[in-house]
Structure 1
Amino acid sequence: MSTIKDIAKHAGVSVATVSYVLNNNRYVSPEKKERVLAAIRELNYAPNAAARGLRARESRTIGLIVSDISNPFYPDLAKGCEDEAQKHGYAVHMINTNDQPERMRQAAAQAREGKIDGLIVTSALEADRELLQSLRERGFPLVLAHRRLEGLDADLVESDNFEGGLMAARHMLRMGHRRIAFMSGVAGSPTSKLREEGYRQAMKEAGIDVPPEWTLSGEAKYTASYERMLGYADMPPDERPTAVINMSDVGAMGVLDAAADRGLRVPEDVAVMGFDDLFLAAFRSVRLTTVRIPRYELGRRATELLLERLSEASRDARHVVLPVELIVRGTCGGEQA
């Protein structure tokens, strides 16, 4: 059975152009329109009524999909999204998935039903690829933010995660550490993968082999990171890591508490670093060294791209990479003044 993507390929036009012809809701040049109609006839395409009406009306609402609303990472991103959307007369509907495929399917259903005009997805995992691809094939406006999916034809805004992992490990190396652990995040997260790749590159440059036990998952969460750190703390002193990089500041808090519960001094016995630079990282009682992720700008730029996509659906997908910054505080030593 032919799809709208097949029609676009056969006619040599974009999926969006096919959608315009089917819905008759935007101007398409006579030459392109005829190519699309010819392809429809040749492939015996029968457009689905629901798909035909997908973009027939506007709700002036965009969807923002996050993986865990309890994670302090997301409020700043959501504020950037909301501020930009309001400037253009749009409301934002937030959908929390907890990284559960069923919740992502519910969000896609809202898109198909016309309840939202476009989606910003911050929680994409490989398991979501087919679902998100089906939305793109229908010409539905979609922007990935924070997490990428390689090969998906969609706009993308992300921070420079590889560089973040690289600078985190290099800082630990500059501080004299050689046994440096990296606690990864959610299984299958492209963000976690890129940061770990940066870490591994820095370790390779330093001539250090990374044993499997140095790259356990803390799930970017407090409890899992706490438990992983207890395991490290119970290793013989001449074997345990002297430095731990966690995928998130929330996870790093678990590392700090586990170290304290095992009587380890920070940074003398173990140095600790996180990612994000959440507000709690700067507390005087914490002073967490971290890699700052531009969360507000992630949300703002993703919304900007989505609104552009709503008005210019046929343009090529854009990829925006935002810079990250190393923030040195007390948990690694060498605190900046």
Structure 2
Amino acid sequence: MSTIKDIAKHAGVSVATVSYVLNNNRYVSPEKKERVLAAIRELNYAPNAAARGLRAGESRTIGLIVSDISNPFYPDLAKACEDEAQKHGYAVHMINTNDQPERMRQAVAQAREGKIDGLIVTSALAADRELLQSLLERNFPLVLAHRRLEGLDADLVESDNFEGGLMAARHMLRLGHRRIAFMSGVAGSPISELRAAGYRQAMKEAGIDVPPEWVLSGEARYAASYERMLGYADMPPGERPTAVINMSDIGAMGVLDAAADRGLRVPGDVAVMGFDDLFLAAFRSVRLTTVRIPRYELGRQATELLLDRISDANRDIRRVVLPVELIVRGTCGGERA
């Protein structure tokens, strides 16, 4: 691996000159600068960003907090963060919390210790408000992405989750369903609350009262959603829901499998819908109707906001709401995608 001394020797300049070019902190004549840059290209030199950051009092690293790294929702979002960060010379350090408060505290400790220059939080819960507020009071760059947190004055990028719940329920109603269940997500998740509110609004517009057993938590996970659907499937045919909206595509897969294990036809006996539009939703063996969440754009805009906040700590707070889209496939009937 080439070193700064190798670059200097190859370009016929001093080590100090190479350092000036790399850090862009002193004037270097155009001719010498071009020789240094040519040497860097020819020797495939990769500057040590961490070392430069230590000298400058910054790490050139941003943190990305997610709730479940095994969830296929996050790769597109994380890739967008990394793509955008790399354009500006930053690395991304991912932190998986599993929605556990202790792991969130550990991530915040890294921020306080200066190991990262800013933080994108995709998994904020109400229990995290005080912790994240402590960072904002220190003027630490922080952006909420995907999950909002009421009462926290921070930059935010989110999808239109209320509209997603509204359009999902309205679609089921247009198909003639009246007994429509909504499987919510993690307790305290603003996303779950907003989507459930949209669902309830659509049901109210249709003049349908929602009994408590129609809104149960599937935790946006396969196993919990599978168990909830078994409970619905075992209800008398005249009482069980004829349509189920799940908080996530992963949870919807659990609903589909439980329906199959109880001998229910999809969409004949029960229509099923998810959220996210993960790659598996389009599999020919699945063809899941879902609400598409713009995951890559969530990550890209969150990183853009964070880097802007790092460069200008005093600018006004910005909040971005991204549109969602209904993707109609086979699990509700009326397939179009």
Q: Which residue in the other structure is 1:145 paired with? A: 145
What percent of counterpart residues are identical? 93
8 Å CA contact 1:63, 1:116 repeated in 2 = yes
Question: CA offset at residue 43 of structure 1?
Answer: 57
Q: Secondary structure at the match of 1:321?
A: strand
CA deviation string 1:100-149 (max 9, x = no partner): 00000000010011100000000000000000000000000000000000
Question: CA offset at residue 45 of structure 1?
Answer: 47
Q: How has the CA–CA distance of structure 1 residues 32 and 316 changed in structure 2, closer, same or farther, with 3 Å as cutoff? A: farther
Q: Distance between the aligned counterparts of 1:121 and 1:17, measured in 2? A: 40
Q: How has the CA–CA distance of structure 1 residues 113 and 30 changed in structure 2, closer, same or farther, with 3 Å as cutoff? A: farther
Greater shift after overlay, 233-242 or 48-57? 48-57
Q: TM-score, normalised by structure 1?
A: 0.84
Q: How has the CA–CA distance of structure 1 residues 115 and 332 changed in structure 2, closer, same or farther, with 3 Å as cutoff? A: same
CA deviation string 1:127-175 (max 9, x = no partner): 0000000000000000000000011010000000000000000000000
Q: Secondary structure at the match of 1:275?
A: strand
Q: How has the CA–CA distance of structure 1 residues 25 and 129 changed in structure 2, closer, same or farther, with 3 Å as cutoff? A: farther
Question: CA offset at residue 316 of structure 1?
Answer: 1.3
Q: How has the CA–CA distance of structure 1 residues 293 and 49 changed in structure 2, closer, same or farther, with 3 Å as cutoff? A: closer
RMSD: 12.5
Q: Distance between the aligned counterparts of 1:259 and 1:47, measured in 2? A: 55
Q: How has the CA–CA distance of structure 1 residues 4 and 59 changed in structure 2, closer, same or farther, with 3 Å as cutoff? A: closer
Q: How has the CA–CA distance of structure 1 residues 122 and 174 changed in structure 2, closer, same or farther, with 3 Å as cutoff? A: same
Q: How has the CA–CA distance of structure 1 residues 200 and 11 changed in structure 2, closer, same or farther, with 3 Å as cutoff? A: farther
Question: CA offset at residue 20 of structure 1?
Answer: 26
Question: CA offset at residue 53 of structure 1?
Answer: 14
Question: CA offset at residue 28 of structure 1?
Answer: 30
Higher Rg:
2
Figure out how many residues of one structure are paired with residues of the other and give that number. 337
8 Å CA contact 2:49, 2:60 repeated in 1 = no
Q: How has the CA–CA distance of structure 1 residues 335 and 51 changed in structure 2, closer, same or farther, with 3 Å as cutoff? A: same
Q: Distance between the aligned counterparts of 2:74 and 2:256, measured in 1? A: 22
Q: Which residue in the other structure is 1:206 paired with? A: 206
CA deviation string 1:215-266 (max 9, x = no partner): 0000000000000000000000000000000000000000000000000000
Unaligned residue ranges in structure 1 (runs of 5+): none
CA deviation string 1:290-309 (max 9, x = no partner): 00000000000000000000
Unaligned residue ranges in structure 2 (runs of 5+): none
Q: How has the CA–CA distance of structure 1 residues 40 and 93 changed in structure 2, closer, same or farther, with 3 Å as cutoff? A: closer
Q: How has the CA–CA distance of structure 1 residues 178 and 108 changed in structure 2, closer, same or farther, with 3 Å as cutoff? A: same
Q: Which residue in the other structure is 1:238 paired with? A: 238
Q: Distance between the aligned counterparts of 1:5 and 1:124, measured in 2? A: 46
CA deviation string 1:266-299 (max 9, x = no partner): 0000000000000000000000000000000000
8 Å CA contact 2:160, 2:324 repeated in 1 = yes
Q: How has the CA–CA distance of structure 1 residues 297 and 20 changed in structure 2, closer, same or farther, with 3 Å as cutoff? A: farther
Q: How has the CA–CA distance of structure 1 residues 334 and 263 changed in structure 2, closer, same or farther, with 3 Å as cutoff? A: same
CA deviation string 1:75-97 (max 9, x = no partner): 00000100000010000000000
Q: TM-score, normalised by structure 2?
A: 0.84
Q: Distance between the aligned counterparts of 2:306 and 2:287, measured in 1? A: 36
Q: Which residue in the other structure is 2:7 paired with? A: 7
Q: Which runs of 4+ in 1 moved over 6 A?
A: 1-56
Q: How has the CA–CA distance of structure 1 residues 323 and 12 changed in structure 2, closer, same or farther, with 3 Å as cutoff? A: farther
Q: How has the CA–CA distance of structure 1 residues 115 and 193 changed in structure 2, closer, same or farther, with 3 Å as cutoff? A: same
8 Å CA contact 1:15, 1:137 repeated in 2 = no
8 Å CA contact 2:53, 2:60 repeated in 1 = no
